[in-house]
Each structure stands twice: as C-alpha cells, then as structure tokens.
Structure 1
Amino acid sequence: MIGLIFDMDGVIVHNNEYHYLAWQKLAKKYNVKITRKYYREKMNGRTLMELMEIIFDGELDKSQALSVGLEKEAIYRELYAEHREATKGLIPFLELAKSKNIPMVVGTSAPKENVVFTLDGLDLRKYFVGVVDDSMVTKGKPEPEVYLKCAEMIKREPRKCIVFEDALSGIKAGQRAGAKVIALATSHTREELSADLIIDDFSQLKWEQVEALLGV
C-alpha cells in the first residue's frame, strides 16, 4: 500500500513570498541581512531554531532565539492571513486520494502555531492522518528524519511513499528517506529542481502519474 506525504509551506499553500517578507521585517528590526537568494538557497525548509542559529550566528541563547523566531512567525501569519488559500488543485487531489483510502500526512519544518493557522484555517486537517512538525524532529531538512517519521505515522515503507516538496533541502530529505519526490515549482524554477516529477501545482497532476511513480 502507498502513502502520500506533504510538506506544508510552498506545497499545501503557496506562501513563501510572505515568509520572505516577514523575515525582511525581522531583519530590519534586528539589523541582520537576509537576501532573497540566501533565503531561497539556505533557509527554506529548515526548522525555526536552526534558522535562528544561522541568522544570528549563535549569538542568541535558546530562549532568546525561540522568542525572536516566534515573533517572525507571528509577523508572517499577520501578513498572510488575508491571502491564505490552498494551492491550486490541492483540494480535488486530496479528495481523490481520500476516496481511494490512501493515508496522507503532513511533514513540515513549521511550528505548531503555523500548522493550526494553515490546516485548521483552511479546514484541511480532515484529510490527514496527522502532522510531524518542527517540535517532533531533532534534525531539520535536508536530514530525512521528518519524512521517516511521516512514513512511520501512516505505517508505510518510505519507498512506497511520495513526498510533495518545494524546497531544495526538502527534496533532498525526501530522497534520503527513500521516498519518491514530486517537486512543486513554487519556490524555485523548474530548472533548479531535481525530482522524480516536477509540477507547477496540483491541477497538473494525474493519478496515473502517482501510480506510475510507485509502480502500482
């Protein structure tokens, strides 16, 4: 039996521009520099505490890092709230998979507050067996831990799972976990991505392609 694993940011919602804008507001306040290139190549897909370590070069203690990180996420939610919507074609695809009794799970580097904001805010939680968020892993993407735990949560072998990702580090995490990876070109161009299949959004994905990837 097969299983489907979904990253959240850039996959379930096309929201990376709002994360970038939130980081810019935070960077201005704390006098740090975050270029768009650096964000896309080095930050996207990592856990919040990993990002705090990278951005502030280890100068913040754990409690300070958490406080500043959560401040950034609150800024993001404020910026994105009015624009929040599921990625094109996602809900029909989830409905189809649900009708086939395919177990689905979310694996994200985001904190719980953002999971609630996204999945509950868009009434999407009903499609998923559960969520593996940043509090449940010790090593963020590109390490495979999050996706190995996702596969375990839905009682599937990783090789029988498809991971949906947009970030370069997330694609590597899925591949290292032993899963097939479908990449969404929401954060990077198609030319920058390397995966088993590349799509712009879920409206381009046919169920036959899912079955072909997993040899069903």
Structure 2
Amino acid sequence: MLTRFFNLLGIALLAVSLTANAAYQALIFDCDGVLVDTEQLKFQAWQQALNHIAIDFQEADYLPLVGFDSAYIAKAIRLQKQTAFDQKKIINNKQHIYHQLQKQGVVALPDAVAFLKLAISKKQELNLKVAIASSASQKEILENLRQLDINPKELDHIISGSDDLRHIHDPEGVNKPKPYIYQRCAQALNVPPKLCLVFEDSHAGVVAADRAGMNVIAIPNRYTMHQDFSMAKKIVTFNEIDLFAIQALV
C-alpha cells in the first residue's frame, strides 16, 4: 500500500514539475482594439477618405473588416461597393487622416493597460517576456504607447505588420490572419510559440496567433464582439484575468 502511495506521489510531483516547466514565457499583446480604442478613429479615417471620392461608407460596412490590414480592407471595399478606385491613394489618404485623428488623442482601454503595466512590472519575478504585435505601423504603435505612458524600452519586443514583414513574399498578403507576425515575434523573443500567450480582439488576430502555434485569448470590443472567436482558447475581459494564475486560463 505504501509503495503504491509513493509511486502515485512521484507521478503527481512529476506532473507538477512538467507543468512548471511548461509555464508561459511570453505574453504578446495586440495594440489597436486591445490596449487602445482606436477602431472608431480608423472607421472615421476610412469614411472621410472614401467620401472624398463620393463613396458612402458606414459603420456597418466597416465591422466585418475590423482586424485586417489596410490593403485587405481597401480590396474588400472595392468588392463591397462594386466600384473601382486607386487603392494605394485611398490608403495613403486614410493614413494621413488617421494620423491627424490619433494625434488629437486615443482612448485607452484601462483594464488592458493596467494588466500590461502589471505584466511589465512583474516580468523578472514571473520570468516573462512582454511584447506588442500589431498590424499598425511602428509610428502608430509608438504614438499609442506614448499616450498610454508606456515606455517602449520596457517591452521585450515590438513588431509591426506594416513595417517588419516586408521581406516576406506571399501573394495573398503577409499581415493577419497570416501567422507571420507572431512567428517572427516568437523568434525575436527566443521563445517557442507554444509557450507564448496572445491577447487579441479580432477574428483575424486570433487566427494568426493560432496558426503560429500559440494559445490565444480573445478580448472582444464593441467593434468585434460579433466576430468568430471559435479558435480562441478563452473569451474573457482583462479584469477576469489573474496574472499570477495565468496558467489556469488555457
């Protein structure tokens, strides 16, 4: 009886050890829609740019496109509206309008920002790396972080789908829902994908992280709440997450 007890105890201790060894080593945050509520600004930028060429564009038109990059959105709008326009010119105009709106101020998502700042402050204690992986440009990401009072140097990596994937050749595009941004982020962090936990707000982002071999938590916002998050491991809010018990999430 005692022999069997100690054998079972040994198996239990081994399981605990394996669980500890498999702890997450990196937390990766999307930015727009997760840390900052910028989707309204992006919608306004698209709407104004399209209005300049007499194309009506409403919020209902934008909702299915949230989370995708500008090239995908512009192409989808052309199909949606059954009209032709200079895609590059529209994107450039949209970007210019968006940057002006962004400089006027972005709305922070306070629970997410508090969670990120806590994760940064506890990196060494929890042996974690913390990164940002966003489809936006580096310029936009850094402006958002500045307004959130987050020092980029305190992050282990920031990767931009707009700027940092240009060396990848894929005729279908390189940004989310393709996995490249998360694959490259894991490489830069020197952390295996299976030991990375991602926080995303959109279907495209969840798919990208899942395809990269990572566990992903969906944090929907009002623009994405009706999107398909079936590939996410959990759908929660940041105030439901305990950083110190994060292994229980997945």
Map 1:44-63; keep pairs closer than 5 Å.
Answer: 44-56=66-78, 60=86
Structure-2 residue corresponding to 1:23: 46
209 and 25 in structure 1: CA distance in 2 versus 1, 3 angstrom threshold:
farther
Counterpart amino acid of residue 108 in structure 2: A
RMSD of aligned alpha carbons: 2.4
How many angstroms does 1:192 deviate by? 4.4
The separation in 1 between residues aligned to 2:227 and 2:207, in whole angstroms, is: 16
Residue ranges of structure 1 left out of the alignment (5+ in a row): none
Structure-1 residue corresponding to 2:135: 109
Counterpart amino acid of residue 189 in structure 1: M
Structure-2 residue corresponding to 1:6: 29
Identity of paired residues, percent? 27
How many angstroms does 1:94 deviate by? 2.3
Number of residue equivalences: 208
Counterpart amino acid of residue 14 in structure 1: D
Q: Which protein has the larger Cα radius of gyration, Structure 1 or Structure 2? A: 2
189 and 51 in structure 1: CA distance in 2 versus 1, 3 angstrom threshold:
closer
Matched, 1:203 2:239: yes
Counterpart secondary structure, 1:32 = coil
Map 1:1-216; keep pairs closer than 5 Å.
Answer: 2-41=25-64, 43-56=65-78, 60=86, 65=88, 67-98=89-120, 99-101=122-124, 102-124=128-150, 125-133=152-160, 134-137=162-165, 138=168, 139-186=174-221, 187-189=223-225, 192-194=228-230, 195-200=232-237, 202-213=238-249
The structure with higher relative contact order (CA 8 Å, sep 6+) is 1
8 Å contact from structure 2 (residues 105, 147) kept in 1: no
How many angstroms does 1:14 deviate by? 1.6
Counterpart secondary structure, 1:10 = coil
How many angstroms does 1:47 deviate by? 2.5
The separation in 2 between residues aligned to 1:33 and 1:69, in whole angstroms, is: 16
8 Å contact from structure 1 (residues 174, 181) kept in 2: yes
Counterpart secondary structure, 1:181 = strand
The separation in 1 between residues aligned to 2:210 and 2:29, in whole angstroms, is: 14
The separation in 1 between residues aligned to 2:137 and 2:54, in whole angstroms, is: 24
Q: Scaled by the length of structure 2, what TM-score is found? A: 0.73
Counterpart secondary structure, 2:145 = helix
Residue ranges of structure 2 left out of the alignment (5+ in a row): 1-23, 169-173
8 Å contact from structure 1 (residues 166, 183) kept in 2: yes
Counterpart secondary structure, 2:177 = coil
Counterpart secondary structure, 2:187 = helix
Counterpart secondary structure, 1:30 = coil
Q: Scaled by the length of structure 1, what TM-score is found? A: 0.83
